[in-house]
Amino acid sequence: MRKLISANIFRLWRSKAFWFVALAMFVWGATVYTFFHINAMNMGIEGAQHNVYFFNGILCLGAAIAVFCSFFIGSECGDGTLRNKLTVGHTRVGIYLSNFIISGMAGILFMIAFWIGAMLVGLTTEGMVILTGVQHPIPGILCSFMVAIVYASIYCFVAMTDSNKTRSAVIGLALAVFLFAGGFATQDGLDQPEYTYRMVLSENGEYELEGNIPNSKYLTGTKRVVYECIDAVLPSCHALRPILTEAEYSATMPVCAAGVTVVMTLGGICIFRKKDLK
């Protein structure tokens, strides 16, 4: 498999899809910190949510990896390279794993490309404050890389089980949107407070704040357990952690991420081993 990985790394540096996505992430990083600079001039840098800017690239990481996998792996399926690899003695398991590894590597490089673009603009316009203002940077960076690997296992599964790169790209992007929306919906449900408040009109005709009112949107019982399970499994939910200034990184996150990665990879290998490569 070492030869397969080496060949994939060589292909990666020559891949137009890789450089296109990496450039897009680089530009997005520069754009995000351009907005940061504009907001800092208009409203001041005090109280800026640095994590929202620094880890913003993780929100579009799923779509980036989906596009890359569909074209990078899809072109290999379409031009007969997979059949040639089998002909010279490589196993299907080795081919699948090498593509998964290179997809995970590409995902990590995409995040790095985002940070390079962000730092070029951010450090030039605002200085070191864009780094010193970030809360929990090391756990956030490790979480970003972990999310990239989980996404790679998902979109490698899609690309390796569907030889049509256009169709796999559409499926991958649709799945990225679904996961993105699901992650936000899940987080929004779990963040609902148990009690809320409202403005009421008092007897003297003035509005007063009334608190300790039960929140109908607060999740309880089985529904909350289901939401917590979804939160532990979805990579899009993990992707929201670094963005939160007061983010909590639980020990179950890497365990669940590893579980999703293993399940997707083993499932993909099982399907790919039975796939008819025409």
Residue 201 has pLDDT above 60, yes or no: no
- pLDDT bin (cut points 50, 70, 90) of residue 39 is confident
Residue 238 has pLDDT above 70, yes or no: yes
- pLDDT bin (cut points 50, 70, 90) of residue 212 is low
Residue 13 has pLDDT above 70, yes or no: yes
Contact in structure between 132 and 46 (CB atoms under 8 Å): no
> Please, what sign has the CA dihedral across residues 263, 264, 265, 268?
positive
Lowest mean pLDDT among 13-17, 46-50, 66-70, 97-101: 46-50
Residue 128's pLDDT is what? 87
Residue 209's pLDDT is what? 58
Residue 74's pLDDT is what? 81
- pLDDT bin (cut points 50, 70, 90) of residue 24 is very high
Lowest mean pLDDT among 28-32, 98-102, 238-242: 238-242
Cα 199 from chain centroid?
Answer: 39
**Mean pLDDT across the stretch 218-239?**
87
Residue 78 has pLDDT above 70, yes or no: no
Residue 243 has pLDDT above 90, yes or no: no
Considering only CA atoms, which of 171, 156, 46 is closest in space to residue 105? 156
Residue 211's pLDDT is what? 62
Residue 126 has pLDDT above 80, yes or no: yes
> Please, what sign has the CA dihedral across residues 58, 244, 184, 264?
positive
Per-residue exposure over 88-98, b if at least 16 CB sit within 10 Å of its own CB, e if not: eebebebbbbb
Lowest mean pLDDT among 124-128, 152-156, 213-217: 213-217
Q: Which residues have a Cβ under 8 Å from the Cβ of 203 and sit 6 or more positions away? A: none
- Return the percentage of the chain with pLDDT > 70, whole number: 89
Mean pLDDT of the chain: 85
**Mean pLDDT across the stretch 225-238?**
88
Neighbouring CB atoms inside 10 A of 150's CB total 27
